[in-house]
Structure 1
């Protein structure tokens, strides 16, 4: 599967811990991430991650383009619902594209756990 990993600043530690805990499962898939999230994940794990630009610099749009072109199977996006994001329109567009193209989207640890359990079973 092609999986994108994204996290807002206040959620980066959460996604690092989640990916480290599930590194073996993620190692079997092609991974993509926005810039800073990808850099931090590669520093914390042995995973190879194809990095896009940082979210505010167009990374969310790059991931959205992959969704629109059928190049992603799953997105794990740990969002911070309590902090305003300067690039909120880009985030909203990405969420809309996931709905439009029916790409599964986990926006918190519990939904990501459910998706990952499904992946591990298949």
Structure 2
């Protein structure tokens, strides 16, 4: 399967982790279309200005719902969604909604760096 568009979302304390993950995979991510929620995408764009990132609204201001709409429209090939498991979960409804939509539409989704690695491998052309 060839990757065309992937969404990146990181809540709260996981933003640094997402930036590190992107750095690890920068060469592969340059080959595809990347969309990200506002703050996460801004952090990624600042760290890797050579990477083209389409910024959506900040997650709690509608960015998570924009990602959800893209899932429902079939506009995404994968979702990397780092949820902060140690936060009091102010984004709980957004987490549940995105998770539900990814499952309903059978979209490959990862919630940790190791599963994100696996999803990116699954979506890449390197797979037979």
TM-score (normalised: structure 1): 0.95
Q: 2:73 pairs with 60, 69, 73, which one?
A: 69
Shift of 1:117: 2.4
Q: 1:89 pairs with 90, 93, 108, which one?
A: 93
CA–CA separation in structure 2 for the residues paired with 1:68 and 1:120: 24
Q: Which runs of 5 or more structure 1 residues have no equivalent in the other structure?
A: none
Report the number of matched residues.
122
CA–CA separation in structure 1 for the residues paired with 2:12 and 2:86: 12
Q: How does 1:29-68 map to 2 (within 5 A)?
A: 29-45=32-48, 46-68=50-72
1:21 aligns with 2:24: yes
Q: 1:2 pairs with 1, 5, 18, which one?
A: 5
Larger helix percent: 1
Deviation string, structure 1 residues 54-80 (Cα, Å, up to 9, x no partner): 111111011000000000010001111
Deviation string, structure 1 residues 72-120 (Cα, Å, up to 9, x no partner): 0100011111212323212211110000001110000110011222315
Runs of 4+ in 1 over 6 A off after TM superposition: none
